[in-house]
């Protein structure tokens, strides 16, 4: 009896394990399945057009073939367009590996929040998928050729999806963070803007170039007209779910310095005669809100070192310190003051509360929230106090 | 004390150990409560979701402590024997029948949750119906076994639950912004009392303790052990709910499946793939037993209520009935969720309170029985 019971238990255990936990051993018909690694969403005359880029294993196809591994579907809604990708091509688009979503400018200007909210609740794409908007059509971005990688989205990932331990001059926004920001009391969000740069780098073969002053670029390549670079050094601002404006490269850099720690970040200062290239070692930042006068105080303490000079370094000493002239530090402070003023002006103009001021008031000055919740962000005064740059 | 406590009524071969009773509280409780509950609480209490959760768990914890004290005074008899001695056999059978009905009703939402959880998190495309209905075969099998099997399952499941929770927490804590839980102190914009009733749909551990009474041999510090198991399970549920809100803020109500939603932002998951499925599978193992437990106990109650010699008929009847309900209403899960959290939670709470009251008014054991 005991033996029979053990056998019965084992059989049920195996049945449960097989049917329950295996996900059919993830056996999907690979011949009919397209592993989508990125999608681009644009507006068209029917509603939406979704361009899906498929991951093709290395070595299985020629490089040129892989460039063409994109499928397009159209529909009145994004979901319909995604479903039509499968219906029109016969391939089942598997989105669970989709790690990037590109939003075309026309969609961003119209209403991007509905689309993001759809993805966040649909379970089709992980909420950690990175999103970025394009300066033009998202489909053009995904079909553009770059020598850095045969799959365009992988090249784009390199500039947009940067971890904290890499260069943090590009603010990666994912589905979740965008949805959290737009659904917050500030109703505002940001995402990087990807710009296609044609014919800028004239290198050959597989070489790629990247970098620049605070810029994040990838690509370059052969002297073919269609090969392009990408730039994502600025962010687009969103208010009430729609694109309302864009920060310049310098404003974007200051914005990143004010909202979080930046690593391996560089900034240039000087004039035509003298140029200094400085590494930002640390950035202490504070965003204070005076609820009585509806004033926002932006405070920033930067610690910098010379990035492109070994002049003045004592190689016989353990401590390698560079000496930065005080006038350079003051010049940088003035420059940051100017950028902060223009950043504040842009916030007032667009009403995009990207410093999450309303949310801060709710969290830290809750008793004043009711009084200030309907006060538009352009009625707040932004003051940049205490921008201090030191080299110690 | 230990020698005199051997007067456990019921089947001597089918006893839980105190450790196992504590593990049942610890292992099965978070596995059951970390699916819809955090998002439901976020919808009604926003950043203060932890407060009604804490209130609800505190009240149930007090009830469990009370039940343990009451049964101590009743000589560690089974609830059925207490009822029989106090109100007669018919009343005892009637009360057991109502408990069975309560347990079956209460099992419905967790079963639906479990079904959706499996289908949405593990499967790429909707699986065949048979995939989930095998659960009822397992549940029927479990129902004909004694409570001892629950104890053995809890011994294993506690490791699975703790490992699963630790892995999930490790993967998700980095993405949580706990400032989303601010302000901690504010005038609630919701009705705390109403919000505190919502978790009752997933609770009912007090009724389990009533039914376990007489099925475990009390030992030194047994009340502390059982209450500790309950407390750890409750704190884990509150901590994970708070972490989910820390990650998702205002959009937390949209995240129906708490654990898979939380851990996807980890660098480990980004770099090596869905490593978080390890924690999901571990907790699913515990969840299978947690979801089956009310059905199993309902069968045991029916067995007593109708003096069935063999529980196989009751097991098949209960599980077949729930399977049919699951099949018919599988498209109405969120309607059931709304009904449960808006209306049924008050009925469940009243039933739990009524059960404790019944225990309280049963006859105390005479001195030599203890």
Segment A2-8 long-range contacts (CB within 8 Å, at least 24 positions apart): A8/B141
* pLDDT surpassing 50 at residue A164: no
Helix (H, G, I), strand (E, B) or coil at B274: coil
- Inter-chain contacts counted by CB atoms under 8 A, chains A and B: 76
Whether B248 maps to a domain, the answer reads yes
Q: Which residue has the higher pLDDT, A181 or A83?
A: A181
pLDDT at residue B266, as a whole number: 84
Do A364 and B183 count as a contact with CB atoms less than 8 A apart? yes
Q: Which of B184, B186, B251 to mutate to test the interface with A (most CBs of A within 10 A)?
A: B251
Distance, CA of B80 to CA of B83 (rounded, Å): 5
**Do B212 and B21 contact (CB within 8 A), yes or no?**
yes
Q: Which of B250, B273, B319 to mutate to test the interface with A (most CBs of A within 10 A)?
A: B250
pLDDT, chain B, mean: 89
**Do A190 and A171 contact (CB within 8 A), yes or no?**
yes
% of chain A residues with pLDDT over 90 = 29
CA distance A11 to chain B (A): 10
Chain B residues inside the 8 Å CB shell of A96: 124
Chain B residues inside the 8 Å CB shell of A9: 141
pLDDT at residue B219, as a whole number: 87
Whether B26 maps to a domain, the answer reads yes
Do A179 and B261 count as a contact with CB atoms less than 8 A apart? no
pLDDT at residue A211, as a whole number: 40
CA distance B193 to chain A (A): 22
**Mean pLDDT, range B184-197, rounded to an integer:** 79
Greatest mean pLDDT among A212-221, A280-289, A336-345: A336-345
Residue A170: pLDDT band (50, 70, 90) is: low
Whether B228 maps to a domain, the answer reads yes
* pLDDT surpassing 60 at residue A67: no
pLDDT at residue B44, as a whole number: 92
pLDDT at residue A168, as a whole number: 54
Give per-residue pLDDT as tens, A174-220. Answer: 999 999 999 999 999 999 998 887 765 555 444 444 444 444 444 44
Residue A126: pLDDT band (50, 70, 90) is: confident
* pLDDT surpassing 60 at residue A310: no
pLDDT at residue B1, as a whole number: 37
Give per-residue pLDDT as tens, B218-252. Answer: 888 999 999 999 999 999 999 999 999 999 999 99
Whether B76 maps to a domain, the answer reads yes
* pLDDT surpassing 80 at residue A299: yes
Which tokens belong to B50?
Answer: 């932890």
Using the structure block, give the residue that is written with the tokens 């309607």.
Answer: B335
Do A183 and B249 count as a contact with CB atoms less than 8 A apart? yes
Q: Which residue of B has its CA nearest to A124?
A: B124
% of chain A residues with pLDDT over 70 = 76
Whether B159 maps to a domain, the answer reads yes
Q: How far is CA A213 from CA A92, A247, A336, B85, B229, in A?
A: 43, 16, 15, 86, 57
CA distance B254 to chain A (A): 6
Which tokens belong to B324?
Answer: 């049919």
**Do B218 and B76 contact (CB within 8 A), yes or no?**
yes
Considering only CA atoms, which of A132, A267, B240, B131 is closest in space to residue A141?
A132
* pLDDT surpassing 80 at residue A150: no
Whether B45 maps to a domain, the answer reads yes
Do A23 and B124 count as a contact with CB atoms less than 8 A apart? yes
Residue B351: pLDDT band (50, 70, 90) is: very high
* pLDDT surpassing 80 at residue B5: no
Whether B370 maps to a domain, the answer reads no
Nearest CB to B281 within list A19, A21, A126: A21
CA distance A183 to chain B (A): 6
Give per-residue pLDDT as tens, B129-184. Answer: 777 888 898 899 899 988 888 999 999 999 999 999 999 999 999 999 999 999 88
pLDDT at residue B369, as a whole number: 52
**Do B250 and B182 contact (CB within 8 A), yes or no?**
no
Q: Which of A11, A99, A122, A180 to mutate to test the interface with B (most CBs of B within 10 A)?
A: A180
Domains along the sequence of chain A with CATH:
248-392 (3.30.300.210)
Chain A residues inside the 8 Å CB shell of B123: 23-24
CA distance A69 to chain B (A): 22
Residue A169: pLDDT band (50, 70, 90) is: low
Structural domains of chain B, count: 1
Do B183 and A363 count as a contact with CB atoms less than 8 A apart? yes
Q: Which residue of B has its CA nearest to A119?
A: B254
The dihedrals phi and psi of A154, each to the nearest 5 degrees, come to -70, -40
Tell how strand A130-134 and strand A173-174 pair up.
antiparallel
CA distance B178 to chain A (A): 11
Name the strand (E) or helix (H) holding B246.
helix B222-248
Q: How far is CA A251 from CA A109, A258, A341, A345, B202, in A?
A: 21, 10, 9, 11, 50
* pLDDT surpassing 80 at residue A155: no
Do B267 and A163 count as a contact with CB atoms less than 8 A apart? yes
CA distance A224 to chain B (A): 33
Chain A residues inside the 8 Å CB shell of B264: 126-128
Lowest mean pLDDT among A31-35, B35-39, B45-49, B316-320: A31-35
Overall pTM > 0.90: no
CATH code, domain carrying B281 = 1.20.1740.10
Do B138 and A15 count as a contact with CB atoms less than 8 A apart? yes
Q: Which residue has the higher pLDDT, B189 or B148?
A: B148
Tell how strand A33-44 and strand A92-94 pair up.
parallel
Q: Which residue of A has its CA nearest to B278?
A: A21
pLDDT at residue B4, as a whole number: 36
Do B182 and A363 count as a contact with CB atoms less than 8 A apart? yes
The dihedrals phi and psi of A227, each to the nearest 5 degrees, come to -80, 135
Residue span of the structural domain in which B213 resides:
7-363
CA A230 centroid distance within chain: 13
DSSP code string of A214-237: S--EEE--SS-TTBEEEEEEEEEE
Do A179 and B288 count as a contact with CB atoms less than 8 A apart? no
Q: Which residue has the higher pLDDT, B209 or A93?
A: B209
Lowest mean pLDDT among A42-46, A387-391, B279-283, B331-335: A387-391
**Do A39 and A152 contact (CB within 8 A), yes or no?**
no
ipTM confidence: 0.86
Whether B1 maps to a domain, the answer reads no
Chain B residues inside the 8 Å CB shell of A28: 124-125
pLDDT at residue A201, as a whole number: 52
Chain A residues inside the 8 Å CB shell of B251: 120, 176, 179-180, 183
Tell how strand A275-290 and strand A130-134 pair up.
unpaired
Residues 6+ apart with CB under 8 A from B366: none
pLDDT at residue B13, as a whole number: 63
The dihedrals phi and psi of B293, each to the nearest 5 degrees, come to -55, -50
Nearest CB to A127 within list B123, B127, B261: B261
Residue A311: pLDDT band (50, 70, 90) is: low
* pLDDT surpassing 80 at residue A295: yes
pLDDT at residue B260, as a whole number: 85
**Mean pLDDT, range B174-200, rounded to an integer:** 85
**Mean pLDDT, range B346-356, rounded to an integer:** 94
């Amino acid at each position: 009896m005991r033996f029979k019971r053990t056998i019965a238990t084992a059989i049920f255990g195996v049945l449960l394990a097989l049917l329950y936990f295996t996900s059919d051993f993830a056996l999907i018909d690979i011949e009919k399945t397209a592993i989508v690694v990125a999608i681009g969403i644009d507006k068209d005359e029917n509603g939406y057009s979704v361009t899906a880029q498929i991951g093709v294993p290395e070595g299985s196809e020629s490089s040129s073939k892989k460039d063409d591994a994109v499928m397009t579907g159209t529909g009145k809604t994004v979901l319909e367009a995604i479903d039509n990708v499968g219906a029109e091509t016969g391939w089942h688009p598997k989105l669970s590996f989709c790690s990037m979503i590109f939003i075309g400018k026309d969609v961003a200007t119209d209403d991007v929040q509905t689309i993001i909210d759809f993805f966040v609740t649909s379970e089709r794409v992980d909420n950690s998928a990175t999103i970025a908007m394009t300066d033009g059509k998202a489909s053009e971005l995904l079909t553009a050729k770059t020598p850095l990688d045969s799959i365009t989205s992988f090249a784009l990932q390199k500039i947009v999806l940067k971890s904290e331990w890499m260069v943090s001059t590009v603010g990666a926004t994912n589905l979740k963070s965008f949805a959290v920001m737009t659904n917050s009391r500030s109703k505002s969000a940001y995402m990087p803007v990807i710009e296609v740069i044609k014919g800028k780098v004239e290198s050959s073969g597989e070489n790629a170039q990247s970098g620049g002053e605070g810029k994040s670029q990838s690509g370059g390549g052969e002297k073919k007209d269609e090969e392009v670079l990408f730039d994502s050094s600025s962010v687009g601002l969103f208010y009430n779910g729609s694109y309302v404006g864009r920060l310049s490269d310098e404003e974007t850099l200051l914005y990143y310095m004010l909202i979080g720690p930046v690593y391996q970040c560089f900034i240039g200062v000087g004039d035509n005669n003298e140029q200094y290239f400085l590494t930002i070692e640390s950035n202490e930042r504070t965003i204070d809100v005076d609820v009585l006068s509806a004033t926002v105080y932006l405070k920033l303490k930067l610690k910098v070192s010379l990035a492109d000079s070994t002049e003045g370094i004592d190689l016989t000493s353990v401590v390698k310190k560079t000496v930065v002239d005080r006038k350079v530090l003051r010049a940088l402070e003035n420059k940051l003051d100017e950028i902060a003023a223009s950043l504040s002006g842009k916030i007032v103009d667009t009403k995009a509360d990207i410093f999450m001021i309303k949310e801060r008031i709710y969290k830290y000055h809750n008793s004043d929230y009711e009084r200030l919740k309907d006060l538009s962000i352009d009625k707040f005064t932004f003051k940049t106090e205490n921008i201090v740059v030191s080299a110690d | 004390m230990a020698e005199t406590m051997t007067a456990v009524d019921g089947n001597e071969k089918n006893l839980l150990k105190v450790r196992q009773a504590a593990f049942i509280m610890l292992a099965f409780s978070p596995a059951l409560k970390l699916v819809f509950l955090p998002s439901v609480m976020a919808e009604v209490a926003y950043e203060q979701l932890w407060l009604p959760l804490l209130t609800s768990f505190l009240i149930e914890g007090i009830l469990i402590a009370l039940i343990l004290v009451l049964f101590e005074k009743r000589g560690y008899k089974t609830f059925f024997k207490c009822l029989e001695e106090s109100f007669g056999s018919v009343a005892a059978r009637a009360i057991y029948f109502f408990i069975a009905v309560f347990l079956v009703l209460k099992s419905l939402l967790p079963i639906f949750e479990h079904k959706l959880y499996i289908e949405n998190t593990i499967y790429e495309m909707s699986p065949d119906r048979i995939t989930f209905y095998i659960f009822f075969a397992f549940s029927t099998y479990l129902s004909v076994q004694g409570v001892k099997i629950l104890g053995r399952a809890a011994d294993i499941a506690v490791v699975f639950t703790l490992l699963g929770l630790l892995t999930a927490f490790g993967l998700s804590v980095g993405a949580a912004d706990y400032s989303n839980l601010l302000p901690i102190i504010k005038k609630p914009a919701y009705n705390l009392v109403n919000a505190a009733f919502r978790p009752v749909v997933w609770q009912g551990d007090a009724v389990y303790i009533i039914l376990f009474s007489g099925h475990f041999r009390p030992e030194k510090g047994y009340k502390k052990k059982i209450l500790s198991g309950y407390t750890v399970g409750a704190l884990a549920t509150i901590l994970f709910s708070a972490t989910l809100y820390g990650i998702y803020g205002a959009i937390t109500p949209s995240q129906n499946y708490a654990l898979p939603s939380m851990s996807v932002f980890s660098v480990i998951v980004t770099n090596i793939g869905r490593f978080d499925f390890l924690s999901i599978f571990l907790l699913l193992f515990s969840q299978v037993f947690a979801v089956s437990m009310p059905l199993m106990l309902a069968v045991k109650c029916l067995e007593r209520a109708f003096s069935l010699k063999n529980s196989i008929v009751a097991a098949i009847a209960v599980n077949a009935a729930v399977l049919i309900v699951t099949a018919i209403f599988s498209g109405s899960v969120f309607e059931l969720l709304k009904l449960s959290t808006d209306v049924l939670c008050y009925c469940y709470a009243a039933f739990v309170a009524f059960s404790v009251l019944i225990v309280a008014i049963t006859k105390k054991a005479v001195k030599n029985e203890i």
